[in-house]
Structure 1
Amino acid sequence: MYEEDQAIVGAESWKQRTLVDLLEFRRLTRKDNPIFLFLGDGENITDRLSAEELHNRASLAGAHLARLLPTGARVILLFENGLDYIVAFFACLYAGHIPVSGIYPSAIGASERFSFILQDSGAQAVLGKRDTLTLFHLPDANAVKWIPLESALNAPRPIAPAALTSDSLALVQYTSGSTENPKGVCLSHRNICHNIHAQLISFQYQDDDTGLSWLPFTHDMGLVGAVLPALAAGNPFYFMAPDKFIEKPSRWLEAISRYGVTISGGPDFAYRYCARLSGEEISPRWDFSRWNIAFNGSENISPDTLEKFSATFGPMGFKSAAFYPCYGLAENALLVTSGRKGHGVSLVSFDRLALSNGEAVVTGTDDADAVTVLASCGTAHEDQHVHIVDPELQVFLPEGRVGEIWIDSPSVSVGYLNNPLRNAQCFVINDGTRYLRTQDFGFLHEGALFHVGRLSEKFAYDGNVYYTNDIAVSLSQAMDGALCIVAPPELPKRDLPCLMIETADAARIPALRQAMADTMKSYRIDRFAFYFMRKGFVIRTPSGKIRADLTLGNILAEPSSILASGDTHTPIATGMTQMI
């Protein structure tokens, strides 16, 4: 079991220690025992890394970086998922530099994202595999050093780790940028060590726990939520690349069964993909009886997804009580709230109209059109506190009132890199306490947090306030789990909310359209545009978050993606189906 009095990130230790201390601790306690095991093909172990070997490689590469760059230099990490990323991350820390993370080289739009982050971060170097650096090299970036990891590992002698403190910057983590330009979140060693501690306590790590993650290391869920907790726990942890999961979601489930994984998860869409697997893709030999924590975070949890996943894989030992809701964000290092191990996800029905007016009123009505079912995000752990605040008056609200989610926690970031205006907006001091304004909206019910949407997803219609994610989840429930995306009105580009529904069966569109109309009527939204689209045109960030605006632009630029479209006042026909 994870013991607070022994762990380097224990109840008090996280206040003084660094991630370098954490590696040294695991080097002493786990020695050559592999902690990181990589499934290169998504199925078989192709590479292993122990704490001892990680130290040896990081000290060599760190020596090379220390020789080339001044102390405290910011270094962009340019790697796909793989053990090289972990080596590069610690090499930067050993050299006294600050790793900058947030670019997954094979992701859609990676080149543009890299150019933005390179300029925004003021990075002095880019560290990556030689082939990757060649692909991303910018001829006009002459002041930037392009450092192949292969060369760094050939340093003639290792370096002793730089002297760091818990207040030293450990990471600049760029946000997904799902609604605006990515922002560089500055995290200290104390921020990250505290959050790792909170994760291990809330997950109730045991000596025989084994993890698995396909989430990108370049995202906070992959790095702070998998790589670093794996080192802290010291147990074997399996990794694969996100593209291996996207190509074939059954690989994730196959690996969980094969390696006896107890902790693994991802956004809701991962479970939805797996619940839709055909009979030929599901092995009767799979055994999920050891899977005790199936965490679900990063996007709204769909009750339909939970039900279908449990029904599909329950016969193979999966327990619905293993579902584990999480809420977090990079600005808090990662985890803020989570559920209770072994208790599943708590689903609560709230009055839909009251919710649109800012009141969370529990209802027992059987009228599905009058209800919004939300999943609890759980409670905060280990000195973290969640508050609901009126964003304009900055007045703290009682339970049952919808407002902006504010956090005070030792995990809260020291601020955004080179962004004083946003820092003044998002990190505020009230009565001597420093708070993170998340720009997320939600409410508290019986002590638990319920998330309803982002500020960027919020829009007003006919005097009521709505959140696109809330509408999308309700639409999905009404359409038998179909993927639904809602883009809010955005003048002058569009004056209507736009609904995008993914379907592979054009014959179902009339029935889906009726379910769509009924659901929107329950929200009292009588005018909207809609697009029924083929599969394969949804744009996501590397972590899986849907880019609604980009998806809308994508299907409008490719008319063959649209099976049918129109709006409720002036229906039109496109593609295969005539809309009446």
Structure 2
Amino acid sequence: MTGFETFTELVLHRTADLGEKDAFIFLHDNAAGTGAEHLTYNGLDAEAKRIASWLQAQGAEGGQVLLLYPSSADFVKAFTACLYAGSVAVPAPLPGDQGHHFARVSGILRDAEVKAVLTDSANEPNISAWLREAGFTDINCLATDRPGEGDPSAWTAPKLTPESLAFLQYTSGSTSSPKGVMVSHFNLLSNEYAIQRSTSSDENSRLGGWLPFYHDMGLIGHILQPLWLGGSAALMSPVSFLKRPFRWLQMIDQYKVTIGGGPNFAFDLCTRRVTDEQLATLDLSSWKVACNGAEPVRAETIRAFTERFEPAGFTPEAFFPCYGMAETTLLVSGTPYGQKPVIRSADIAALELGTLREPAEGAPARTLVSSGVFQDFDVRIVDPQEHTERPEGGVGEIWVKGDSVAGGYWKRPETNAEIFQAVILGGEQGPDAGWLRTGDLGVLESGQLYVTGRLKEMILINGRNIYPHDVERTVQALDPALAPGNGAVFSVDTGEEHLVIVQEIKPNSPSAADLPALAAQVRTLISKEFTVAGSVVLVKPGTIRKTTSGKLQRTLMRQLLIEGKLTPLHEVLEDGVKALVDAAALASVG
């Protein structure tokens, strides 16, 4: 793979070897327009040693260090400093004053047993106050952009092994509370190598993205991959992208980015928001790998984006649908470089019964996009109840083995035994141990991996498996008032399973004027297409919860409904669901 035993050793070699080469270019949008901040390998090395010396003086070598930054050069310097200090970086979003991020980061602070907190001078007063209020008065907080803290000459190389932890990657909490994935230096080196092989990248590659730096795809794909390659990256903040999606494409053009990507919604946003006038100014011919991951890949997203941006030099072969997760460091599989994504139709009824099959003419069908072939992993499809391997074409849980599979969750030994050391039964050689249960449903066909859903979110009604996103997409195609990508389908157990959809409404759409009629149409459609009754909750924009990478938090939406924490514009609930919600409301009053 490489001659390096730790990622720290690799970065030290890169900084010594590449000197004044740009490692990162950070784009800033401000009142004066746009600007770029360049960080060379030499500059990164000097700043990392300065901050690392402070961490070592605090006794943080081998301990966890919480990183709380916006997407900025300061985050990259701080993360590299943790590598240099032999500390375990814990990237997290800024906590804010209240709400989801506040609760999540407070939980991370308690769980990770951090020795120090790093942030910037703009956020340091609020972070210090937050630490005091949380009762962590013994944890020192450093604003790393403040001069005079740390002495590079006092830095000493840490004593690390391949098994040493590089960082804790806290999961997004799509289906449960965040857990810290323990990523070792060996895991990180292995996965960066797999990413390089999958994307055919080298030291001349330039990555470009906007994903949050604390997110695994942003951290490993856009920050650590350039360091692995000895390449460079152009980066911008998520806020800048969401305000002006065109700016991302403009960055790809301006800096001749070769690799970059994001979840479906990023490509959909560009397709909708980039004007013809803006399109005419773009040259996207340098973009050879457009990674599409972090949520189920939609064929319509690929088709619409390609059609829209082919005049600007984007090619269908550039799309790189991929699959991965924090528990495998990042990447598991991806479309082979230079090949078009594999897209196929599947019979919905057969999928519900656990088999991938071409649909008969006129039969209800679902379009599946392959997540490609796996790189340096052994992947099996396993019956989640029986723990036996499914035949090719059979739907089951995706189980994986490989050098990139993390050591488990921080301080979760019982969960680790269940999730990271699963055993496949029934094989000719006897029980086969040491598998990671991904919690995702999928199917293998001709070496291609198709992800079909999430095990915990599968709805089982009347002996049939119903995929939430099938219902969501069917409903959202009914009327323009039903915002695409902003509805969540889940089941509620009242002694029997009930299907519920919580769906955002576009307020200016004509149908929004008669929500009872629209809800009735949705219920009729669900009954017709899926032969089940459905409860419908119509809500205002911004209600549907998502992770930082855009994944729907269906389990959280179920919890909010049951706890009476949603404010519907209009709802029609089945009797059992209504009784459950009403009981929760009475309990909260009492």
Provide the TM-score with structure 2 as the length reference: 0.87
**Of 130, 136, 143, the match for 1:141:** 136
1:538 to 2:533 alignment? no
**Of 415, 423, 431, the match for 2:408:** 415
1:96 to 2:86 alignment? yes
Q: CA deviation at 1:565?
A: 3.9
Higher deviation after alignment, 39-48 or 161-170: 39-48
Q: Which residue of 1 aligns with 2:583?
A: none
SS at match of 2:36: strand
SS at match of 1:496: strand
Q: CA deviation at 1:321?
A: 2.2
CA distance in structure 2 between the partners assigned to 1:494 and 1:239 by the alignment:
49
Distance 1:204 1:396, change over 3 A: same
- Preserved contact between residue 353 and residue 523 of structure 1 (Cα < 8 Å): no
Q: Which residue of 2 aligns with 1:466?
A: 466
1:506 to 2:509 alignment? yes
- Preserved contact between residue 349 and residue 364 of structure 1 (Cα < 8 Å): no
- Preserved contact between residue 59 and residue 161 of structure 1 (Cα < 8 Å): no
Q: CA deviation at 1:220?
A: 0.6
Q: CA deviation at 1:208?
A: 4.0
CA distance in structure 2 between the partners assigned to 1:540 and 1:117 by the alignment:
18
Q: CA deviation at 1:345?
A: 2.1
Distance 1:38 1:473, change over 3 A: same
Amino acid in structure 2 at the alignment position of 1:420: P
SS at match of 1:543: coil
CA distance in structure 2 between the partners assigned to 1:67 and 1:278 by the alignment:
50
Amino acid in structure 1 at the alignment position of 2:74: D
Amino acid in structure 2 at the alignment position of 1:202: S
Q: Which residue of 2 aligns with 1:7?
A: none
Unaligned runs of 5+ in 1: 1-10, 573-580
1:60 to 2:55 alignment? no
- Cα deviation code 1:255-300 (max 9, x no counterpart): 2222222211100011111121163773421121222211100111
- Preserved contact between residue 461 and residue 525 of structure 1 (Cα < 8 Å): no
Unaligned runs of 5+ in 2: 424-430, 579-590
Amino acid in structure 2 at the alignment position of 1:404: E
Q: Which residue of 1 aligns with 2:585?
A: none
Distance 1:220 1:278, change over 3 A: closer
Higher deviation after alignment, 31-40 or 133-142: 133-142
CA distance in structure 1 between the partners assigned to 2:277 and 2:495 by the alignment:
42
Distance 1:280 1:109, change over 3 A: farther
Task: Write the mapping of 1:368-379 to structure 2, written as runs, cut at 5 A.
Answer: 370-379=364-373
Q: Which residue of 2 aligns with 1:438?
A: 438
Q: CA deviation at 1:522?
A: 5.9
SS at match of 2:122: helix
CA distance in structure 1 between the partners assigned to 2:418 and 2:180 by the alignment:
15
**Of 333, 354, 363, the match for 1:337:** 333
- Cα deviation code 1:91-124 (max 9, x no counterpart): 1222221111233446962221111011111112
CA distance in structure 2 between the partners assigned to 1:157 and 1:294 by the alignment:
38
- Preserved contact between residue 57 and residue 153 of structure 1 (Cα < 8 Å): no
Q: Which residue of 2 aligns with 1:169?
A: 165
SS at match of 1:483: strand
- Preserved contact between residue 519 and residue 536 of structure 2 (Cα < 8 Å): no
- Preserved contact between residue 479 and residue 515 of structure 1 (Cα < 8 Å): no
Distance 1:478 1:287, change over 3 A: farther
Q: Which residue of 1 aligns with 2:587?
A: none
Q: CA deviation at 1:324?
A: 0.8
**Of 75, 92, 101, the match for 1:85:** 75
Q: CA deviation at 1:524?
A: 2.6
- Cα deviation code 1:290-314 (max 9, x no counterpart): 2221110011112222222222222
Q: CA deviation at 1:244?
A: 1.2
CA distance in structure 2 between the partners assigned to 1:450 and 1:548 by the alignment:
21
Amino acid in structure 2 at the alignment position of 1:545: K
**Of 277, 282, 291, the match for 2:278:** 282
- Preserved contact between residue 460 and residue 497 of structure 2 (Cα < 8 Å): no
Distance 1:475 1:282, change over 3 A: farther
Question: Identity of paired residues, percent?
Answer: 31
**Of 109, 112, 115, the match for 1:124:** 115
1:547 to 2:535 alignment? no
SS at match of 1:520: helix
CA distance in structure 1 between the partners assigned to 2:404 and 2:528 by the alignment:
40
Higher deviation after alignment, 102-111 or 255-264: 102-111
Amino acid in structure 1 at the alignment position of 2:138: A
CA distance in structure 1 between the partners assigned to 2:14 and 2:346 by the alignment:
47
Task: Write the mapping of 1:481-500 to structure 2, written as runs, cut at 5 A.
Answer: 482-491=484-493, 496-500=498-502
CA distance in structure 1 between the partners assigned to 2:100 and 2:565 by the alignment:
16
Aligned CA-pair RMSD? 2.9
**Of 254, 265, 268, the match for 1:269:** 265
Q: CA deviation at 1:72?
A: 1.1
Distance 1:532 1:258, change over 3 A: farther
Q: Which residue of 1 aligns with 2:358?
A: 362
- Preserved contact between residue 187 and residue 413 of structure 1 (Cα < 8 Å): yes
Distance 1:535 1:287, change over 3 A: farther
- Preserved contact between residue 60 and residue 116 of structure 2 (Cα < 8 Å): no
Higher deviation after alignment, 489-498 or 177-186: 489-498
CA distance in structure 1 between the partners assigned to 2:575 and 2:64 by the alignment:
53
- Preserved contact between residue 176 and residue 182 of structure 1 (Cα < 8 Å): yes
Q: How many positions carry a matched residue from both structures? A: 555
CA distance in structure 2 between the partners assigned to 1:64 and 1:390 by the alignment:
50
1:35 to 2:39 alignment? no
Amino acid in structure 2 at the alignment position of 1:489: S
CA distance in structure 1 between the partners assigned to 2:460 and 2:524 by the alignment:
20
1:299 to 2:295 alignment? yes
Q: Which residue of 2 aligns with 1:524?
A: 530
Q: Which residue of 2 aligns with 1:3?
A: none
Task: Write the mapping of 1:204-215 to structure 2, written as runs, cut at 5 A.
Answer: 204-206=200-202, 208-215=204-211
- Preserved contact between residue 403 and residue 441 of structure 1 (Cα < 8 Å): yes
Q: Which residue of 1 aligns with 2:379?
A: 386
Higher deviation after alignment, 76-85 or 529-538: 529-538
Q: Which residue of 2 aligns with 1:448?
A: 448
Q: Which residue of 2 aligns with 1:577?
A: none
Distance 1:70 1:539, change over 3 A: closer
**Of 384, 387, 391, the match for 1:398:** 391
Q: CA deviation at 1:521?
A: 4.2
Q: CA deviation at 1:518?
A: 7.0
Provide the TM-score with structure 1 as the length reference: 0.88
Q: CA deviation at 1:358?
A: 1.1
Q: CA deviation at 1:513?
A: 6.4
Distance 1:250 1:568, change over 3 A: farther
Distance 1:260 1:522, change over 3 A: farther
CA distance in structure 2 between the partners assigned to 1:406 and 1:557 by the alignment:
36
SS at match of 1:415: coil
Q: Which residue of 2 aligns with 1:427?
A: 420
Task: Write the mapping of 1:159-238 to structure 2, written as runs, cut at 5 A.
Answer: 159-206=155-202, 208-238=204-234
- Cα deviation code 1:427-464 (max 9, x no counterpart): 11544652111111111111111111112211211110
CA distance in structure 2 between the partners assigned to 1:78 and 1:246 by the alignment:
21
Q: Which residue of 2 aligns with 1:110?
A: 101
SS at match of 2:296: coil
- Cα deviation code 1:75-106 (max 9, x no counterpart): 11111111111111121222221111233446
Amino acid in structure 1 at the alignment position of 2:86: G
CA distance in structure 1 between the partners assigned to 2:496 and 2:28 by the alignment:
44
Distance 1:490 1:152, change over 3 A: farther
Q: CA deviation at 1:359?
A: 1.2
Q: CA deviation at 1:494?
A: 10
Distance 1:437 1:250, change over 3 A: same
- Preserved contact between residue 539 and residue 546 of structure 1 (Cα < 8 Å): yes
- Preserved contact between residue 468 and residue 488 of structure 2 (Cα < 8 Å): yes
CA distance in structure 2 between the partners assigned to 1:433 and 1:569 by the alignment:
45
Amino acid in structure 2 at the alignment position of 1:372: R
- Preserved contact between residue 377 and residue 449 of structure 1 (Cα < 8 Å): yes
Distance 1:429 1:12, change over 3 A: farther
CA distance in structure 2 between the partners assigned to 1:512 and 1:28 by the alignment:
64
